[in-house]
Chain A
């Protein structure tokens, strides 16, 4: 299947010798007319696309002041050049964040600045041609909007915003990406990215109830559409479908069960992820978010908690109130919204959960900070809480934990290589190359510190790693959900695990 060469994994993350145009061929499938139209975009490339594109650019630069500031303020200092995982993995100079931005910036200069209008060659301004549009389509789908480059930019230019704007312009002219737009359509019509209908969701949850009872002897519920529940859990639909995601879902349910929480999932808000952000579309982002508000109101819940989903948490933490607030109908004594890790860590701190860390002794863990959680959100009430909470939880349920190279964690974390709408098979080459920096850091702790597993808190990260790390000699089962670790170590009251630990095997400990 692979018609590209997997880069060689070295001891350290190094800057590659440039290979100009090495990824110019990379281009995802174009959205079908019906995918486009259901999101309010033209079905295919419109005849006067140049005019439409420039009008859209003008609209964006006046609507979002930040966008124009980002386009104007780059001084080409070069600080970002070696910070992008896709550049490090592909050696294509157009994957340097500054070069990627310049694909758009040169057009902006040509049509919206005095110097660019009259002396285009002097200021690197260029006409918007079909070639340029194709280049946008290729290279703005080689950016996962992870914002690592922004951390190192002395001006704070947010490359992700530029990629989002580029994609928004391309949608406006009728050249959208199939993966993102088909998925957003499914959220609007079915309620989640996967297209999982309510009946199938109920079937999955029933199966999980059986499995957990088989494993533990405890009847843990996975409630769906329960009116009057206290907590609405919104989690990525991958948690109902893929591995190791589903093991994380089992963990959430066990924690809720053990703490006596009244909670529910919702059929209509059965997706935490919001691909509206990937394509820069405020309207779609808002529509996707509204389902959560509507479900919360309809079910009459008091709290909203998000499961392990990176981009969802950025949107939930940073934008939810603007997109679909105010949430004055929720209980104001709790964070609105709350992350499942905040909930679980809170309970661990209170001592309400009995933990047997030995259950995870066969593993030595490390943790991958998800880009959008690390650089676009927080957990708890202090800066950096988003780095501590997952680690606190892992360390509370595992004896063996090691961090990766600090140049690759926390605010400097590398993207998994599949974020921002790139987690699709037609972009497998860029995904495999983009995971190289993370794979390098992982390999180092595997070889030097005996790490066996890497935990993650994002559905995209989990899927991307299980699929691409095997190209570098890892196995897919080395990736785990954080709440999977909690699930393994949690000793529920009345469970077989409790009986075994307390030496009351064979007793009828059921309540």
Chain B
């Protein structure tokens, strides 16, 4: 099983780089994962990542795309509350890519 090394600690990830134990997550992991995909995390990314983690904590699943866009729209203004904005931030899909950075499991099913 692959792992990410950070500050002398080893974090196990699955075949696609998703963290196996979401309780282990620390913000530094998101930066390493992003770097691996040639992305640099800005405050805008962190707004999404933090929201995902909050939502997951309450609902035990990542938010639906619509729930996410609505929440981001409320927080950052209506012009950002759409999936186009989220795809600009996370080109591999806000659901999957942002979930990965947030240490959450990948959404499965017909999505």
Chain A interface (Cβ within 8 Å of chain B)? 1, 29, 179, 182-183, 186, 192-197, 199-200, 203-204, 207-208, 211, 236-238, 240-243, 245-246, 271, 273, 309, 423, 425-426, 459-460, 462-463, 467, 476
Looking at the complex, which of B3-11, B21-29, B102-110 is the stretch in contact with chain A? Answer: B102-110
A197 touches B111 (CB 8 A): no
Q: In the complex the two chains form, is A192's CB within 8 Å of B109's CB? A: yes
A203–B59 contact, CB under 8 A? yes
B61 within 8 A of A: yes
Per-residue 0/1 for B78-111: is the Cβ within 8 Å of any A Cβ (1 yes, 0 no)?
A: 0000010001000011011000000001011111
Q: Which of B15, B60, B64, B105 contacts A242 (CB 8 A)?
A: B64
Interface string of B30-52 (1 = CB under 8 A from A): 00000001000000000000000
Contact B109 A193 (CB under 8 A): yes
- Option from A186, A200, A207, A236 in Cβ contact (under 8 Å) with B66: A207
**A-B CB contacts (within 8 Å), total count:** 88
Verify B111–A463 contact, CB threshold 8 A: yes
User: Number of B residues contacting the other chain (C-beta, 8 Å)?
Assistant: 24
Report the minimum CB–CB distance from A146 to chain B (whole Å). Answer: 15
In the bound complex, do residue B108 and residue A243 qualify as a contact, i.e. CB atoms below 8 Å apart? no
Contact of A194 among B15, B37, B65, B109 (CB under 8 A): B109
Knowing A1-B92, A199-B59, A425-B16, the reply to whether A204 touches B108 (Cβ < 8 A) is: no
Bound: A211/B64 CA distance, A: 14
Q: Does B67 contact A (CB under 8 A)?
A: yes
A-chain residues with CB within 8 Å of residue B65 when the two chains form the complex = 241-243, 246
Bound-state CA distance A183–B108 (Å) is: 7
Specify the chain A residue showing the minimal Cβ separation from B65.
Answer: A243
Residues of A within 8 A of B67 (CB): 203-204, 207
- What residue in chain B is nearest A466 (Cβ atoms)? B93
Query: A426 contacts B108, CB within 8 Å?
Result: no
The CA of A425 and the CA of B37, in the complex, are separated in Å by 15
7 CB contacts below 8 A, A to B, read: A193-B109, A199-B60, A200-B60, A207-B70, A242-B110, A243-B83, A459-B110
Give Cα A183–Cα B37 distance, bound, in whole angstroms: 26
A197 touches B110 (CB 8 A): no
Q: Residue B110 contacts which of A203, A236, A426, A476 (CB distance < 8 angstroms)?
A: A236
Tell me the complex Cα distance, A80–B72, Å. Answer: 50
User: Known: A186-B108, A273-B110, A426-B16. Contact between A194 and B61, CB under 8 A?
Assistant: yes
A204 touches B64 (CB 8 A): yes
Beyond A193-B108, A194-B109, A204-B64, 20 extra complex contacts between A and B, CB < 8 Å: A29-B15, A192-B109, A193-B109, A195-B105, A199-B60, A203-B59, A207-B66, A208-B66, A236-B110, A237-B109, A238-B110, A242-B64, A242-B111, A243-B66, A246-B65, A246-B66, A309-B110, A423-B110, A459-B110, A462-B110
Whether B96 pairs with A200 at a CB distance below 8 angstroms is no
* Contact present for B110 and A460 (CB under 8 Å): yes
Task: List chain B residues, Cβ under 8 A from A467.
Answer: 93
Q: A185: nearest residue on chain B (CB-CB)?
A: B108
Expressed in whole angstroms, the minimum distance between the Cβ of A439 and any Cβ of chain B is 19
Shortest beta-carbon distance from A114 to chain B in Å? 44
Interface contact A182-B108, CB-CB below 8 Å: yes
Residue of B nearest to A459 (CB): B110
| Cα of A243 to Cα of B70 in the assembled complex, Å | 13
The reply to whether B16 and A194 contact each other, CB–CB distance below 8 Å, is: no
Considering only CB atoms, which chain A residue lies closest to B37 in the complex?
A: A1
Q: Which residues of B sit under 8 angstroms from A238, Cβ to Cβ?
A: 109-111
**CB-defined contacts of A236 to chain B, threshold 8 Å:** 109-110
Q: With a CB–CB cut-off of 8 A, which chain B residues contact A460?
A: 110
Given contacts A207-B70, A243-B65, A243-B83, contact A195 B15 (CB under 8 A): no
Query: Cβ of B108 and Cβ of A197 under 8 Å apart?
Result: no
Could you say which of B16, B61, B96 contacts A195, with CB atoms under 8 Å apart?
B61
Instruction: Report Cα–Cα, A203/B60, bound state, in Å.
Output: 12
Contacts of A199 in B (CB 8 A): 58-60
In the assembled complex, the CB of A462 is this many whole angstroms from the nearest CB of chain B, namely: 8
- Write out the residue numbers on chain B whose beta carbons fall within 8 Å of the beta carbon of A29: 15
Q: Give every chain B residue within 8 A of A197 (Cβ-Cβ).
A: 59-61
Given contacts A199-B59, A460-B110, A463-B110, whether A240 and B64 have CB atoms under 8 Å apart is: yes
